[in-house]
């Protein structure tokens, strides 16, 4: 049964910026949101944008979250285009492929994880905040991971970056209230390009074989991996008026694998 995204969405005309909008989740979110009449912009690496087919009417802005000046330029351009933002979604993520224990994570790898998964969200929020403050009941949604709470061997560094992202999201919620809401969505693994090595980056050895979807899905009560559409609905809900009194929360989307 397909989801009725229209019942969850912000109203038509809402202005939403997707950082990481050329990835698997971002492209689908852009497609759904644009189809519902939202104004959507995709911000991503130049290579990711070049490889993606953005929906009609969705502008793309080349950014690198490790280069703050590119974010400043992109959000300045969005300000000229729309004048304000009603939503910001941070989808950009980076994982080490193949996974490795903490003692095998070098300083460069650690820095890349933290800068992309955590610092990039911080920079994106700072660049977007003036536009969000001019928006209508604006909301921030970050995309974390169940690994941010439920750590698995070999994913410690990635888990630390996502736990930090969740803490940052709560800080935005506390400091932005009552004008601005902020929440995170934490999905379990999806069999997308990201878990096979990410998009917009140079492929790494082992990227095609490190993730075993059958083994990962075995303990999930719903009997399957998460699909992209399983995450789109929660993101739209947290952006929209149905979540107007929800802020500072992490919504786990794992098919029952991670129960609290």
Q: Where are the domains of the chain?
A: 85-253
Catalytic residues: 158
Model pLDDT for residues 200-249, shown as the tens digit of each residue: 444 444 444 455 666 666 577 666 677 889 999 999 999 999 999 999 99
**Highest mean pLDDT out of 6-10, 45-49, 198-202, 217-221:** 45-49
Sheet holding 39-44, edge to edge: 60-62, 39-44, 15-19, 87-90, 139-143, 181-187, 250-253
Cα 134 to Cα 234: distance, rounded to the nearest angstrom: 24
The answer, yes or no, to whether residue 73 has pLDDT greater than 60, is yes
Model pLDDT for residues 126-178, shown as the tens digit of each residue: 999 999 999 999 999 999 988 888 888 899 999 999 999 999 999 999 999 99
Query: pLDDT at position 212, please?
Result: 64
Q: What is the pTM of this model?
A: 0.90
CATH topology classification for 85-253? Rossmann fold (3.40.50)
Q: Indicate the pLDDT class of residue 76, thresholds 50, 70 and 90.
A: very high
Average pLDDT score over the chain? 89
């Amino acid at each position: 049964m397909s989801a009725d995204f229209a019942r969850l969405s912000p109203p038509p005309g809402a202005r939403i910026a997707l950082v990481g909008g050329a990835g698997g989740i971002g492209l689908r979110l852009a497609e759904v949101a644009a189809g519902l009449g939202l104004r959507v912009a995709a911000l991503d690496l130049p290579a990711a944008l070049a490889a993606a087919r953005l929906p009609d009417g969705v502008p793309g802005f080349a950014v690198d979250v490790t280069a703050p000046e590119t974010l400043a330029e992109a959000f300045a351009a969005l300000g000229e285009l729309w004048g304000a933002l009603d939503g910001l979604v941070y989808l950009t993520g980076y994982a080490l492929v193949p996974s490795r224990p903490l003692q095998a994570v070098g300083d460069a790898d650690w820095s890349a994880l933290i800068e992309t998964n955590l610092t990039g969200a911080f920079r994106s929020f700072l660049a977007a905040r003036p536009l969000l403050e001019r928006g209508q009941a604006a909301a921030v949604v970050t995309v974390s991971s169940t690994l941010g709470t439920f750590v698995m061997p070999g994913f410690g560094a990635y888990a630390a970056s996502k736990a930090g992202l969740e803490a940052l999201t709560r800080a935005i919620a506390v400091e932005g209230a009552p004008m601005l809401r902020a929440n995170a969505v934490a999905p379990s693994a999806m069999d997308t390009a990201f878990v096979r090595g990410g998009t917009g980056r140079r492929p790494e050895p082992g990227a095609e074989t490190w993730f075993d979807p059958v083994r990962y899905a075995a303990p999930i009560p719903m009997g399957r991996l998460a699909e992209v559409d399983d995450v789109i609905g929660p993101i739209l809900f947290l952006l929209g008026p149905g979540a107007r009194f929800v802020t500072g929360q992490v919504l786990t989307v794992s098919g029952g694998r991670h129960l609290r």
